[in-house]
Amino acid sequence: MRRYPPHDPKEYIDWQPDSAVQSAYRQTIDESSTLPGRIAAADPALFGRLYTGLVRSRLYDIALKRWVRTGVLTKAWLGLGEEASTIGALEALAAEDPVGPMIRNQSAAFQKGIPLEDCFKVYLGTGDTITRGRDLHIGDLNHHVVCPISHVGDLVPVMAGFALSFKMRGEDRVALTWTGEGATRTGTVHEGLAVAASARVPLIVVVQDNHVALGTRRDDKLRSSLESIAASHGVTGLRCDGNHVLDVYDTIATARELCLAGEGPVVVYSRTFRMGGHATHDEAEARELFSGDEFADWGKRDPVGCFEEYLRSEPALLGVKTAKAVTKKLEKWEAAVTEEVESAAAVALESKKNHPPDPTTLLDGVVA
Protein backbone atom coordinates (compact mmCIF):
# COMPACT_ATOMS: atom_id res chain seq x y z
CA MET A 1 0.00 0.00 0.00
CA ARG A 2 0.96 3.60 -0.29
CA ARG A 3 3.00 4.84 2.67
CA TYR A 4 2.51 8.15 4.40
CA PRO A 5 5.60 9.98 5.57
CA PRO A 6 5.68 11.64 8.09
CA HIS A 7 2.83 9.71 9.70
CA ASP A 8 3.94 6.12 9.12
CA PRO A 9 6.61 4.68 11.43
CA LYS A 10 9.94 5.18 9.66
CA GLU A 11 10.35 1.40 9.16
CA TYR A 12 7.22 1.38 6.99
CA ILE A 13 8.04 4.28 4.70
CA ASP A 14 10.23 2.43 2.19
CA TRP A 15 8.86 -0.97 3.11
CA GLN A 16 10.12 -3.84 0.97
CA PRO A 17 9.41 -7.53 1.54
CA ASP A 18 12.15 -9.37 3.41
CA SER A 19 12.74 -12.87 2.05
CA ALA A 20 13.37 -14.50 5.46
CA VAL A 21 10.25 -12.90 6.94
CA GLN A 22 8.13 -13.91 3.96
CA SER A 23 9.33 -17.51 4.11
CA ALA A 24 8.55 -17.63 7.82
CA TYR A 25 5.09 -16.22 6.96
CA ARG A 26 4.53 -19.06 4.50
CA GLN A 27 5.98 -21.61 6.91
CA THR A 28 3.44 -20.58 9.56
CA ILE A 29 0.71 -21.51 7.10
CA ASP A 30 2.34 -24.73 5.92
CA GLU A 31 3.00 -25.96 9.44
CA SER A 32 -0.52 -25.32 10.70
CA SER A 33 -2.78 -28.35 10.91
CA THR A 34 -5.86 -26.24 10.12
CA LEU A 35 -4.89 -23.12 8.16
CA PRO A 36 -4.16 -24.68 4.73
CA GLY A 37 -7.61 -26.33 4.85
CA ARG A 38 -9.32 -23.09 5.82
CA ILE A 39 -7.52 -21.22 3.01
CA ALA A 40 -8.52 -23.88 0.47
CA ALA A 41 -12.14 -23.81 1.63
CA ALA A 42 -12.41 -20.01 1.89
CA ASP A 43 -14.63 -17.87 -0.26
CA PRO A 44 -12.19 -15.64 -2.25
CA ALA A 45 -14.04 -12.63 -0.79
CA LEU A 46 -12.49 -13.44 2.59
CA PHE A 47 -9.04 -12.36 1.38
CA GLY A 48 -10.47 -9.10 0.07
CA ARG A 49 -12.18 -8.42 3.41
CA LEU A 50 -8.99 -9.17 5.33
CA TYR A 51 -7.00 -6.89 3.06
CA THR A 52 -9.44 -3.98 3.04
CA GLY A 53 -9.85 -4.38 6.82
CA LEU A 54 -6.11 -4.03 7.35
CA VAL A 55 -5.89 -1.05 5.00
CA ARG A 56 -8.93 0.69 6.54
CA SER A 57 -7.46 0.20 9.98
CA ARG A 58 -4.09 1.64 8.91
CA LEU A 59 -5.65 4.59 7.09
CA TYR A 60 -7.88 5.43 10.04
CA ASP A 61 -4.75 5.74 12.19
CA ILE A 62 -2.93 7.76 9.54
CA ALA A 63 -5.90 10.16 9.39
CA LEU A 64 -5.82 10.54 13.19
CA LYS A 65 -2.08 11.18 13.09
CA ARG A 66 -2.62 13.84 10.46
CA TRP A 67 -5.17 15.52 12.74
CA VAL A 68 -2.71 15.47 15.62
CA ARG A 69 0.02 16.98 13.46
CA THR A 70 -2.27 19.72 12.16
CA GLY A 71 -3.64 20.63 15.59
CA VAL A 72 -7.16 19.23 15.15
CA LEU A 73 -6.52 16.78 18.01
CA THR A 74 -4.09 16.81 20.90
CA LYS A 75 -3.51 13.07 20.81
CA ALA A 76 -4.75 9.75 19.48
CA TRP A 77 -4.43 6.10 20.50
CA LEU A 78 -3.37 3.94 17.58
CA GLY A 79 -3.14 0.31 16.55
CA LEU A 80 -0.22 0.83 14.13
CA GLY A 81 1.54 -2.50 13.56
CA GLU A 82 -1.09 -4.43 15.53
CA GLU A 83 -3.88 -4.35 12.94
CA ALA A 84 -3.85 -8.07 12.15
CA SER A 85 -4.69 -9.01 15.76
CA THR A 86 -7.99 -7.17 15.36
CA ILE A 87 -8.87 -7.79 11.72
CA GLY A 88 -8.00 -11.51 11.62
CA ALA A 89 -10.05 -12.13 14.78
CA LEU A 90 -13.13 -10.31 13.52
CA GLU A 91 -13.27 -12.29 10.29
CA ALA A 92 -13.36 -15.55 12.25
CA LEU A 93 -16.45 -14.48 14.20
CA ALA A 94 -20.09 -14.53 13.19
CA ALA A 95 -21.75 -11.14 12.66
CA GLU A 96 -23.74 -11.56 15.89
CA ASP A 97 -20.80 -12.50 18.09
CA PRO A 98 -20.14 -9.49 20.32
CA VAL A 99 -16.68 -8.05 20.76
CA GLY A 100 -15.20 -5.88 23.50
CA PRO A 101 -12.25 -3.99 22.00
CA MET A 102 -9.49 -2.05 23.71
CA ILE A 103 -9.00 1.43 22.29
CA ARG A 104 -6.08 -0.08 20.36
CA ASN A 105 -8.64 -2.28 18.56
CA GLN A 106 -10.77 0.72 17.50
CA SER A 107 -10.98 -0.75 14.00
CA ALA A 108 -13.29 -3.42 15.47
CA ALA A 109 -15.95 -0.70 15.71
CA PHE A 110 -16.06 0.18 12.01
CA GLN A 111 -15.35 -3.36 10.85
CA LYS A 112 -18.44 -4.52 12.78
CA GLY A 113 -20.54 -1.87 11.02
CA ILE A 114 -20.42 1.27 13.15
CA PRO A 115 -20.10 4.06 10.55
CA LEU A 116 -16.50 5.13 10.07
CA GLU A 117 -17.54 8.78 10.30
CA ASP A 118 -18.84 8.12 13.84
CA CYS A 119 -15.49 6.62 14.82
CA PHE A 120 -13.90 9.89 13.70
CA LYS A 121 -16.62 12.04 15.31
CA VAL A 122 -16.09 10.61 18.80
CA TYR A 123 -12.51 11.83 18.62
CA LEU A 124 -13.75 15.31 17.74
CA GLY A 125 -16.39 15.30 20.47
CA THR A 126 -19.25 16.21 18.14
CA GLY A 127 -22.81 16.22 19.44
CA ASP A 128 -24.28 14.15 16.62
CA THR A 129 -22.77 10.77 17.37
CA ILE A 130 -23.47 7.97 19.82
CA THR A 131 -21.39 9.41 22.67
CA ARG A 132 -22.89 12.90 22.07
CA GLY A 133 -19.47 14.42 22.59
CA ARG A 134 -18.82 12.79 25.94
CA ASP A 135 -16.20 10.14 25.22
CA LEU A 136 -13.90 8.92 22.48
CA HIS A 137 -14.47 5.26 23.36
CA ILE A 138 -17.08 3.98 20.94
CA GLY A 139 -19.33 0.94 20.95
CA ASP A 140 -22.86 0.14 19.84
CA LEU A 141 -24.72 -3.00 20.85
CA ASN A 142 -26.78 -2.75 17.64
CA HIS A 143 -23.53 -3.65 15.91
CA HIS A 144 -22.44 -6.10 18.63
CA VAL A 145 -19.60 -3.86 19.79
CA VAL A 146 -19.25 -3.24 23.51
CA CYS A 147 -17.66 0.11 24.28
CA PRO A 148 -14.01 -0.10 25.41
CA ILE A 149 -13.64 0.55 29.14
CA SER A 150 -10.86 2.89 30.14
CA HIS A 151 -9.95 0.70 33.13
CA VAL A 152 -7.87 -1.89 31.36
CA GLY A 153 -8.89 -5.50 31.89
CA ASP A 154 -12.46 -4.67 32.94
CA LEU A 155 -13.98 -5.98 29.73
CA VAL A 156 -13.02 -9.57 30.54
CA PRO A 157 -15.73 -10.01 33.21
CA VAL A 158 -18.20 -7.99 31.11
CA MET A 159 -17.65 -10.23 28.08
CA ALA A 160 -17.76 -13.31 30.31
CA GLY A 161 -21.29 -12.16 31.22
CA PHE A 162 -22.26 -11.99 27.53
CA ALA A 163 -20.84 -15.49 27.04
CA LEU A 164 -22.72 -16.80 30.08
CA SER A 165 -25.99 -15.47 28.65
CA PHE A 166 -25.36 -17.33 25.38
CA LYS A 167 -24.75 -20.54 27.27
CA MET A 168 -27.86 -20.11 29.41
CA ARG A 169 -30.04 -19.37 26.37
CA GLY A 170 -28.50 -22.13 24.28
CA GLU A 171 -27.43 -19.66 21.56
CA ASP A 172 -24.57 -20.60 19.24
CA ARG A 173 -22.63 -17.40 19.80
CA VAL A 174 -19.29 -16.55 21.34
CA ALA A 175 -18.03 -13.35 22.95
CA LEU A 176 -14.51 -12.07 22.32
CA THR A 177 -12.37 -9.46 23.97
CA TRP A 178 -8.77 -8.31 23.66
CA THR A 179 -6.55 -7.42 26.55
CA GLY A 180 -3.02 -6.04 26.58
CA GLU A 181 -0.22 -8.08 28.13
CA GLY A 182 0.11 -5.37 30.77
CA ALA A 183 -3.57 -5.62 31.69
CA THR A 184 -3.18 -9.36 32.31
CA ARG A 185 -1.70 -8.27 35.66
CA THR A 186 -5.03 -6.80 36.81
CA GLY A 187 -7.41 -8.53 39.15
CA THR A 188 -10.42 -8.14 36.86
CA VAL A 189 -8.82 -10.17 34.05
CA HIS A 190 -8.33 -13.09 36.45
CA GLU A 191 -11.72 -12.70 38.13
CA GLY A 192 -13.38 -12.70 34.72
CA LEU A 193 -11.39 -15.70 33.58
CA ALA A 194 -12.05 -17.58 36.81
CA VAL A 195 -15.82 -17.19 36.44
CA ALA A 196 -15.70 -17.92 32.71
CA ALA A 197 -13.63 -21.05 33.34
CA SER A 198 -15.79 -22.44 36.11
CA ALA A 199 -19.00 -21.76 34.16
CA ARG A 200 -17.37 -23.09 30.93
CA VAL A 201 -18.69 -20.23 28.84
CA PRO A 202 -18.00 -19.46 25.15
CA LEU A 203 -15.55 -16.63 25.71
CA ILE A 204 -12.37 -15.89 23.77
CA VAL A 205 -9.80 -13.67 25.45
CA VAL A 206 -7.06 -12.48 23.12
CA VAL A 207 -3.95 -11.46 25.00
CA GLN A 208 -2.53 -8.90 22.58
CA ASP A 209 1.12 -8.82 23.55
CA ASN A 210 2.61 -5.71 21.97
CA HIS A 211 5.63 -5.96 24.30
CA VAL A 212 4.89 -2.79 26.19
CA ALA A 213 2.47 -1.20 28.65
CA LEU A 214 2.59 2.60 28.58
CA GLY A 215 6.34 3.18 29.07
CA THR A 216 7.25 -0.22 30.55
CA ARG A 217 8.75 -3.03 28.48
CA ARG A 218 7.11 -6.28 29.41
CA ASP A 219 10.53 -8.00 29.73
CA ASP A 220 11.23 -5.73 32.66
CA LYS A 221 8.15 -6.61 34.61
CA LEU A 222 6.50 -9.96 33.85
CA ARG A 223 7.88 -12.90 35.80
CA SER A 224 5.59 -15.56 34.36
CA SER A 225 4.96 -16.34 30.71
CA LEU A 226 1.81 -14.96 29.15
CA GLU A 227 1.08 -18.43 27.84
CA SER A 228 0.78 -19.72 31.40
CA ILE A 229 -2.43 -17.72 31.91
CA ALA A 230 -4.58 -20.36 30.19
CA ALA A 231 -3.03 -23.20 32.15
CA SER A 232 -3.42 -21.34 35.43
CA HIS A 233 -7.17 -21.19 34.80
CA GLY A 234 -7.33 -24.75 33.43
CA VAL A 235 -8.57 -23.63 30.02
CA THR A 236 -7.33 -24.12 26.47
CA GLY A 237 -4.56 -21.76 25.40
CA LEU A 238 -3.67 -21.16 21.76
CA ARG A 239 -1.03 -18.92 20.28
CA CYS A 240 -0.75 -17.02 17.03
CA ASP A 241 1.51 -14.63 15.21
CA GLY A 242 -0.30 -11.36 15.83
CA ASN A 243 1.20 -9.77 12.70
CA HIS A 244 -0.05 -12.60 10.46
CA VAL A 245 -3.66 -11.92 9.61
CA LEU A 246 -4.30 -15.46 8.33
CA ASP A 247 -2.77 -17.07 11.41
CA VAL A 248 -4.90 -14.89 13.68
CA TYR A 249 -7.99 -15.73 11.62
CA ASP A 250 -7.27 -19.45 11.81
CA THR A 251 -6.52 -19.45 15.54
CA ILE A 252 -9.65 -17.50 16.45
CA ALA A 253 -11.70 -19.78 14.17
CA THR A 254 -10.34 -22.77 16.14
CA ALA A 255 -11.05 -21.01 19.44
CA ARG A 256 -14.61 -20.32 18.29
CA GLU A 257 -15.14 -23.98 17.34
CA LEU A 258 -13.89 -25.05 20.78
CA CYS A 259 -16.22 -22.57 22.47
CA LEU A 260 -19.23 -23.76 20.48
CA ALA A 261 -18.35 -27.36 21.39
CA GLY A 262 -18.63 -26.40 25.06
CA GLU A 263 -14.86 -26.23 25.58
CA GLY A 264 -14.60 -22.53 26.37
CA PRO A 265 -13.27 -20.23 27.49
CA VAL A 266 -10.16 -20.07 25.31
CA VAL A 267 -7.22 -17.75 25.83
CA VAL A 268 -5.37 -16.80 22.63
CA TYR A 269 -1.89 -15.39 22.96
CA SER A 270 -1.22 -13.04 20.02
CA ARG A 271 2.34 -11.79 19.73
CA THR A 272 2.79 -8.42 18.07
CA PHE A 273 4.56 -5.09 18.52
CA ARG A 274 3.50 -1.49 19.08
CA MET A 275 5.08 0.49 16.22
CA GLY A 276 4.78 3.78 18.06
CA GLY A 277 3.93 5.27 21.41
CA HIS A 278 1.22 4.49 23.92
CA ALA A 279 -0.53 7.30 22.09
CA THR A 280 0.81 9.95 19.73
CA HIS A 281 2.21 12.09 22.57
CA ASP A 282 5.04 9.73 23.60
CA GLU A 283 6.34 8.38 20.32
CA ALA A 284 9.84 9.72 20.94
CA GLU A 285 10.02 8.17 24.43
CA ALA A 286 8.71 4.87 23.08
CA ARG A 287 11.60 4.79 20.61
CA GLU A 288 13.99 4.82 23.57
CA LEU A 289 12.40 1.73 25.15
CA PHE A 290 13.47 -0.59 22.35
CA SER A 291 16.60 -0.77 20.25
CA GLY A 292 16.63 0.34 16.63
CA ASP A 293 17.14 -3.32 15.68
CA GLU A 294 13.97 -4.36 17.50
CA PHE A 295 11.96 -1.71 15.67
CA ALA A 296 13.62 -2.71 12.39
CA ASP A 297 12.78 -6.41 12.90
CA TRP A 298 9.16 -5.74 13.68
CA GLY A 299 9.01 -3.19 10.87
CA LYS A 300 9.84 -5.96 8.39
CA ARG A 301 6.81 -7.78 9.72
CA ASP A 302 4.33 -5.05 8.79
CA PRO A 303 1.00 -6.93 8.77
CA VAL A 304 -0.21 -5.12 5.65
CA GLY A 305 2.96 -5.49 3.56
CA CYS A 306 3.46 -9.15 4.50
CA PHE A 307 -0.11 -10.05 3.59
CA GLU A 308 0.11 -8.18 0.27
CA GLU A 309 3.28 -10.04 -0.58
CA TYR A 310 1.75 -13.38 0.35
CA LEU A 311 -1.29 -12.67 -1.86
CA ARG A 312 1.03 -11.77 -4.74
CA SER A 313 2.64 -15.18 -4.39
CA GLU A 314 -0.78 -16.92 -4.50
CA PRO A 315 -2.78 -15.21 -7.27
CA ALA A 316 -5.33 -18.03 -7.38
CA LEU A 317 -6.64 -16.96 -3.95
CA LEU A 318 -8.01 -13.81 -5.57
CA GLY A 319 -9.13 -15.70 -8.66
CA VAL A 320 -6.41 -14.25 -10.93
CA LYS A 321 -3.35 -15.71 -12.65
CA THR A 322 -0.41 -13.39 -12.01
CA ALA A 323 1.20 -11.32 -9.28
CA LYS A 324 0.63 -8.27 -11.49
CA ALA A 325 -3.09 -8.95 -11.55
CA VAL A 326 -3.06 -9.27 -7.74
CA THR A 327 -1.35 -5.89 -7.45
CA LYS A 328 -4.00 -4.36 -9.69
CA LYS A 329 -6.79 -5.72 -7.49
CA LEU A 330 -5.10 -4.58 -4.29
CA GLU A 331 -4.59 -1.09 -5.73
CA LYS A 332 -8.25 -0.88 -6.67
CA TRP A 333 -9.36 -1.91 -3.17
CA GLU A 334 -6.89 0.45 -1.56
CA ALA A 335 -8.13 3.38 -3.66
CA ALA A 336 -11.74 2.65 -2.66
CA VAL A 337 -10.87 2.39 1.05
CA THR A 338 -8.75 5.57 0.86
CA GLU A 339 -11.71 7.45 -0.59
CA GLU A 340 -14.00 5.99 2.09
CA VAL A 341 -11.69 7.01 4.95
CA GLU A 342 -11.05 10.49 3.55
CA SER A 343 -14.71 11.24 3.06
CA ALA A 344 -15.64 9.92 6.54
CA ALA A 345 -12.96 12.18 8.05
CA ALA A 346 -14.30 15.15 6.05
CA VAL A 347 -17.87 14.48 7.25
CA ALA A 348 -16.63 14.34 10.86
CA LEU A 349 -14.79 17.66 10.47
CA GLU A 350 -17.98 19.27 9.14
CA SER A 351 -19.83 17.94 12.19
CA LYS A 352 -17.26 19.50 14.48
CA LYS A 353 -18.25 22.86 12.97
CA ASN A 354 -21.98 22.31 12.74
CA HIS A 355 -22.89 19.93 15.56
CA PRO A 356 -21.16 20.84 18.80
CA PRO A 357 -22.48 18.98 21.88
CA ASP A 358 -25.62 20.49 23.40
CA PRO A 359 -24.70 21.80 26.89
CA THR A 360 -28.30 21.45 28.10
CA THR A 361 -27.97 17.65 27.77
CA LEU A 362 -24.84 17.55 29.90
CA LEU A 363 -26.38 15.58 32.74
CA ASP A 364 -28.50 13.27 30.57
CA GLY A 365 -27.68 9.66 31.22
CA VAL A 366 -25.64 10.43 34.30
CA VAL A 367 -26.71 7.90 36.90
CA ALA A 368 -24.34 8.54 39.76
Ligand X SMILES: Cc1ncc(C[n+]2csc(CCOP(=O)(O)OP(=O)(O)O)c2C)c(N)n1
Give the Cα separation of 361 and 368 in Å (integer): 15
Q: Select the residue interacting with ligand X from 62, 146, 152, 207 (CB under 6 A).
A: 152
Q: Select the residue interacting with ligand X from 106, 177, 210, 270 (CB under 6 A).
A: 210
Half-sphere exposure of 186 toward its Cβ, with a 13 Å CA cutoff? 17
186 is a site residue for ligand X (CB under 6 A): yes
Q: Pairing mode, if any, of strands 266-271 and 203-209? A: parallel
* Only segment of 7-15, 40-48, 180-188, 298-306 that touches ligand X (CB under 6 A): 180-188
Half-sphere exposure of 132 toward its Cβ, with a 13 Å CA cutoff? 9
Q: Select the residue interacting with Mg ion from 89, 152, 213, 230 (CB under 5 A).
A: 213
DSSP bridge partners of 267: 205, 237
Q: Which residues contact 86 (CB under 8 A, 6 or more apart)?
A: 57, 79, 101, 105, 107, 108, 111, 178
Q: Which residues contact 132 (CB under 8 A, 6 or more apart)?
A: 357, 358, 361, 364
- 145 DSSP assignment: B
Other residues' Cβ atoms within 10 Å of the Cβ of residue 357: 16
Site size for Mg ion (CB under 5 A): 5
214 is a site residue for ligand X (CB under 6 A): yes
Judged by beta carbon, residue 102 or residue 306, the one nearer ligand X is: 102
The item of ligand X, Mg ion, none sharing an interface with residue 56, based on CB under 5 to 8 Å by kind, is: none
Judged by beta carbon, residue 42 or residue 214, the one nearer ligand X is: 214
Q: Select the residue interacting with ligand X from 150, 291, 322, 343 (CB under 6 A).
A: 150
Give the Cα separation of 184 and 227 in Å (integer): 11
The item of Mg ion, ligand X, none sharing an interface with residue 118, based on CB under 5 to 8 Å by kind, is: none
Residues 165-204 vs Mg ion: string with x where CB under 5 A? ---------------xxx----------------------
List residues binding Mg ion (CB under 5 A): 180-182, 210, 213
The footprint of ligand X (CB under 6 A) covers 102, 104, 150-152, 180-183, 186, 210, 212-214, 274, 278
